[in-house]
Chains A and B, each alone.
Chain A
Amino acid sequence: MIDVIVIGAGITGTAIARELSKYQIDVMVVEKSYDIANGATKANSGIVHAGYDAKEGTLKAKLNVMGNEMYEDLCKELDVDFIRNGSLVIAFSDEEMKHVEKLYERGIRNGVKELEIIDGEQLRKIEPNISENAVGALHAKTGGIVSPYELAIALAEIAFQNGVKFQFQTEVRNIKRREDYFIVETSRGNIEAKYVVNAAGLFADEINRMLGGKEFRIIPRKGEYCLLDKTQGKHVKNTIFQVPTSKGKGILVSPTVHGNLLLGPNAVEIYEKDDTSTTFEGLDEVIKGAQRSVRNINLRDVITSFTGVRATPDTGDFIINSPSKGAVNAAGIESPGLTSAPAVALMVLDLLREQGLILNKKENFNPKRVKPRRFIDMNQEEKEQALKENKLYGRVICRCEHITEGDIINAIYRPLGARTVDGVKKRLRAGMGRCQGGFCMPRVVEILARELKVEPEEILKAGEGSKILTGRTK
C-alpha cells in the first residue's frame, strides 16, 4: 500500500510529485503515455503569464500571480532556463486601448507588479518590429518564458531522486473505494493507495467521476502553432499579445527560451481529446494573426508546426478541490496552468492535509538538480573535462543543434531517461533544429537501440505503436 498516487505526469502532476517528495511518505506517479509531459505540457506557448488576464477572485488569478512569483527560485533550484522577457498586450485602436486599461486595472487588483501602459512611440522603441498600426500597449515586465517540458522533466527528476516512483504506460481505468484506501485499477494491474490526486489533464473529468466527485466536463480546445528557426528568435524580445476579444486571447508572437520564434495559438473546439492535428486553415489563421502584430516575419524560416489541446473546464475556473474523502482534484488546468503549477501543487498539499494526510518533512530531501549539461552549453574547460570522461562527446549527432553522442547517452541513462526518439528530442533538442531530425534521426534510433539493448525495429518515435522501422531489408 502506498500513501499517495498521482495520476498524470504533466506539469501539474510533476509539480505535485516534487512537493510531495519533501515528506516522509510513499508516492507513485502513474502516467498512461511513454514519457513525462506528453499531454498539454508538451505543446503550449510556454509563457509564464504575469497575471492580468484572469478575473479577480478566481483561482486562476490567485494561483497565476503566486506561481509567477515562484518561478525564479524554482527554476534556479531545478537548473532550468527561465527568462523574464516581459509581455506586451498591443492595441490597434483607441477602443482597444480602453481594454488595455481594463487589463491594467485588473492586473493591479490581482496583485501583479511592474505593470505599465505605454504609447505607440515607447512601444516601437522596445519592439522595433511591431506593426505600424499599434497605438499602445500594456507592458508587464514580470511576464516570462520557459520550456514547459524541460520544467516538467526537471520536476519529475527531483521527485524521483527523492524517492517518488514513476510508472509509465499505466492508464488508470477505474478506481474502487475501500474503507480507508483506494484500489486504482490500471492497464498494468491494481495499485492500492490511501490518497489519490487527479492531475489527468484532459481526462480529469473521467477520473473525477471514478472518484465519485460532483460532475464537471472538460471541453477540449486546440491551439495550433508555427515554430521558426533560431535565425528569427531575436525578431521580438517581449511576448506580443493582442487585446483579447470574445473569440479568445488571440495569436501571440514570442521568442522561446531556446531562441526560436513561436507564433500561435488559435482556438478551436474539437470533439476528440487526442486530436493534436494541425489544419491548413488553422496555420493560415496563426500566420495572419501573427503578421497583424509583428512586421517582417520571415515565413521561409518555419521549421515545424504543432498543436496543443487545452483542457477547458465547463466551470470557467481551475477545479482544485476534494471530490470525495481521501481524493484531491487538480482539474480543468488550462492556461495559465503552466504558470500556476508550483502554486497549484502547494494548494493540493493543503487539501491532502485537510483530508488527513500527515506530512512530516524528510531530513535528507535534496532539492538541487544538475541539468544534463549538453556539450554545446559547456565552457572550454568543461568541454575538455567531458571529453576526457567520455570521448563520445566528440561525436556530433544532431548537426543543427550540435548534440553529441555523449549527450544522448547521458539523456538515456539519467533518472527517468529517454526511451524514445521524441524522448531524446525533449531532453536535448536533438532533431529540433532546422533539419527536424532528417539527418540525425537514423543515428538516434541506432544509439537508442544499442544502449537500451533492443533491436532498432523496437524503437518508438513517441508512444505505443509509433514504430519507425518495419523490418529488415531483403
Chain B
Amino acid sequence: MEREIVIIGGGPAGLAAAVEARKNGIEDILILERDKSLGGILQQCIHNGFGLHIFGEQLTGPEYADRFIKEVEKLNIEYKLDTMVLHISSDKTIQAINPEDGIINIKAKAIILAMGCRERTRGALNIPGTRPAGVLTAGAAQRFVNIEGHMVGKKVVILGSGDIGLIMARRMTLEGAKVEMVVELMPYSTGLKRNIVQCLDDFNIPLLFSHTVVRIHGKERLEGVTIAKVGDDRKPIPGTERFVECDTLLLSVGLIPENELSREAGVKINDITSGPVVDESMQTSIDGIFACGNVVHVHDLVDFVTEESRLAGRGAAKYIKKELKKSDERIYAKGNGGVRYVVPCIINSENVDNEVNFFMRVDNVYRNVYLCAKQGDTVITKVKKQMVSPGEMEHLKIKREVLKQIKKGEITFHLEEV
C-alpha cells in the first residue's frame, strides 16, 4: 500500500496533525492507532482542565479529544484502530498489524510520529523490597479505575508528584480509598500547581517533599512501604525511615517518550528530552519524518500538544507539496543557564510563518527571574517570571522577522536574575 501521510498514534497529537494536514490540502492521510478508540491518553483523563488555551473553556480529556475526533470524522480522514505499528524504516516503510487486515505494509511519502509516552516503573527506580501485587503505575491504575471500573486498592501511598499521581490521589479518594500521602523526592513538585491545590489540598492529602520510598513490604499483596527523608544529594538520610501501612503504591515518577520506532528508523534522539530532535516544522533528522506531542517531549498541557501538532501537520503537507525549504542557513536553539532543553532546536527561518514558539523546561525552582533568548550577548527577547519550576513547561515566542535577521547561528535561552 502507498500513502501520502501516515500518522502513527491517534492521540491529541496525531489527530491535530491529521486535521491540519488535510486543511493544508493533503487528501491521502491515514492514522494508525493501537487502541480501540481514538483520543490517546486523554480517554482515561476524565477530570476537567483541558482546553483552556485552545478553546477557552474547561473540558474533560474525552471531551477535548472528541472535538478532534469529530473533526477527523467530518473531514473524512481515514484511520485504523486496534492497529499497532511494529516497524518503521528510514525509507518510510511501515509495518503494522491488526486483527482484521493482519500484517499491513505501507510505503509512506511522509510520516508523523505521534506515539506519546509511557510511564517510568519501579524497575527503573530500583526500589528495594519484595515484589507483591499492589505496586503499579498511576497510569495503569487510572486505566483500571476510569475505563474498566475496577478499584486497585484501599489504602494508598503515591510516589512522585507528577500530574497523573496527583489526579489519581483525588480520584482514589473520591472512590472511597484512603490516600495516606504523596511522597516526592525533589524539594518541589513536578506537577502543575493547580493540580496540587485541587487534588491534594482540597482533600487534605499530605505532600511530603524531599522524601522517597526506600523499601516495599509484603509477600503477596503490598503491606506497607518504608519512606525516608532525602538529603540534598537525594540519597535517603539514615535514621529518618518510617513505615507507612498501605495496600497500594502508585508510581508517578515520570514519563518517557516512546521512541523505539523512531530509533529503529534512525531518527536522531535528544538525550535530555529522550525525543527526536526537531526543527521549526517539527521535522526530524530524517526528511519527511515529522514528530509531535509527547513523543517529542513530555507536555503537561494538551493545548500545547495541539499547537505543536498543527505545525507538524502543516510541515508534512508542505513537504508533500515540496514547499518545505531546505537551506544551510539554520539557527540552532540551545538551553543554557537554568534551561534544560528547548524545542524546536533547529530553525530554517524561511519556513517560519509568523513566529516560533520555543518550549522549554528549567532545571530547578527559581523566583523572580527573566526568561530570555539571546544571540551572543544581545538579548532578543525576555519575559519576567515570578516563579519557574521544572514541573511547568515555559515558552517564549520569537517573531519571524527577528529570526530572518539572525538567519544562521545560535540562540541561547537563559534564566537571569531580575
Enumerate chain A interface residues (CB-CB to B < 8 A).
226-227, 274, 276-280, 282-283, 302-306, 380, 383-384, 387, 391-396, 399, 402, 435-439, 441-442, 446, 456-457, 460-474
B176: nearest residue on chain A (CB-CB)?
A474
Q: CA of A279 to CA of B130 in the docked complex: distance in angstroms?
A: 9
Given contacts A462-B133, A466-B132, A468-B136, 11 further A-B contacts (CB under 8 A): A303-B124, A305-B126, A305-B128, A387-B102, A395-B98, A399-B84, A438-B121, A442-B148, A464-B220, A465-B220, A470-B153
Chain A neighbourhood of B137, CB < 8 A: 438
Decide yes or no: A470 and B132 within 8 Å by CB, A226-B126, A303-B123 being known contacts: no
Chain A proximity of B148: nearest CB distance (Å):
7
B237 at interface (Cβ–Cβ under 8 A)? no
Q: CA of A451 to CA of B140 in the docked complex: distance in angstroms?
A: 21
Give which listed residue, A226, A394, A442, contacts B144 with CB less than 8 A.
Answer: A442
- Cross-chain contact B128 with A396 (CB below 8 angstroms): no
- Cross-chain contact B100 with A391 (CB below 8 angstroms): yes
In the complex, 26 of the A-B residue pairs with CB atoms within 8 angstroms, ordered by the A residue number, are A226-B126, A227-B123, A278-B128, A279-B128, A280-B214, A302-B124, A304-B122, A305-B126, A384-B103, A393-B99, A395-B82, A396-B34, A399-B34, A435-B119, A435-B121, A436-B123, A439-B140, A442-B144, A446-B148, A462-B220, A466-B133, A468-B134, A468-B152, A469-B152, A470-B152, A471-B151
CB-CB contacts of B111-129 with A at 8 A, as 1s and 0s? 0000000110111101011
Chain A neighbourhood of B149, CB < 8 A: 472-473
Chain A proximity of B295: nearest CB distance (Å):
14
Chain B proximity of A444: nearest CB distance (Å):
11
Give which listed residue, B132, B139, B154, contacts A438 with CB less than 8 A.
Answer: B139
Chain B neighbourhood of A462, CB < 8 A: 133, 220
Q: CA of A278 to CA of B175 in the docked complex: distance in angstroms?
A: 33
Chain B neighbourhood of A474, CB < 8 A: 174-176
Chain A proximity of B392: nearest CB distance (Å):
24
Give which listed residue, A387, A438, A471, contacts B140 with CB less than 8 A.
Answer: A438
Decide yes or no: A472 and B99 within 8 Å by CB, A303-B123, A467-B221 being known contacts: no
B382 at interface (Cβ–Cβ under 8 A)? no
Chain B proximity of A345: nearest CB distance (Å):
30
B143 at interface (Cβ–Cβ under 8 A)? yes
A376: nearest residue on chain B (CB-CB)?
B86
B131 at interface (Cβ–Cβ under 8 A)? yes
Chain B neighbourhood of A439, CB < 8 A: 118, 140
- Cross-chain contact A442 with B220 (CB below 8 angstroms): no
CB-CB contacts of B49-88 with A at 8 A, as 1s and 0s? 0000000000000000000000000000000001010100
Give chain A's interface secondary structure class. mixed
Chain B neighbourhood of A468, CB < 8 A: 133-134, 136, 152
Give which listed residue, A279, A392, A436, A463, contacts B99 with CB less than 8 A.
Answer: A392
- Cross-chain contact B99 with A302 (CB below 8 angstroms): no
Chain B proximity of A353: nearest CB distance (Å):
40
Chain A neighbourhood of B321, CB < 8 A: none
- Cross-chain contact A383 with B150 (CB below 8 angstroms): no
Give which listed residue, A274, A396, A465, A467, contacts B84 with CB less than 8 A.
Answer: A396
- Cross-chain contact A436 with B221 (CB below 8 angstroms): no
- Cross-chain contact A276 with B97 (CB below 8 angstroms): no
B130: nearest residue on chain A (CB-CB)?
A277
B219 at interface (Cβ–Cβ under 8 A)? yes
B352 at interface (Cβ–Cβ under 8 A)? no
B396 at interface (Cβ–Cβ under 8 A)? no
Chain B neighbourhood of A441, CB < 8 A: 136, 140
B145 at interface (Cβ–Cβ under 8 A)? yes
Chain B neighbourhood of A402, CB < 8 A: 86
Chain B proximity of A97: nearest CB distance (Å):
34
- Cross-chain contact B133 with A442 (CB below 8 angstroms): no
Q: CA of A473 to CA of B175 in the docked complex: distance in angstroms?
A: 6
Chain A neighbourhood of B129, CB < 8 A: 277-279
Chain A neighbourhood of B139, CB < 8 A: 438
Chain A proximity of B399: nearest CB distance (Å):
39
- Cross-chain contact B150 with A436 (CB below 8 angstroms): no
Chain A proximity of B147: nearest CB distance (Å):
8
- Cross-chain contact B100 with A302 (CB below 8 angstroms): no
B308 at interface (Cβ–Cβ under 8 A)? no
Q: CA of A100 to CA of B139 in the docked complex: distance in angstroms?
A: 50
Chain B proximity of A66: nearest CB distance (Å):
34
- Cross-chain contact A456 with B123 (CB below 8 angstroms): no
Query: Top 5 A-B pairs ranked by shortest CB distance?
Result: A304-B123, A465-B220, A461-B133, A394-B99, A466-B220
- Cross-chain contact A436 with B148 (CB below 8 angstroms): no
Chain B neighbourhood of A438, CB < 8 A: 118-119, 121, 136-137, 139-140
Interface residues of B in 203-242 (CB under 8 A from A): 214-217, 219-221, 236
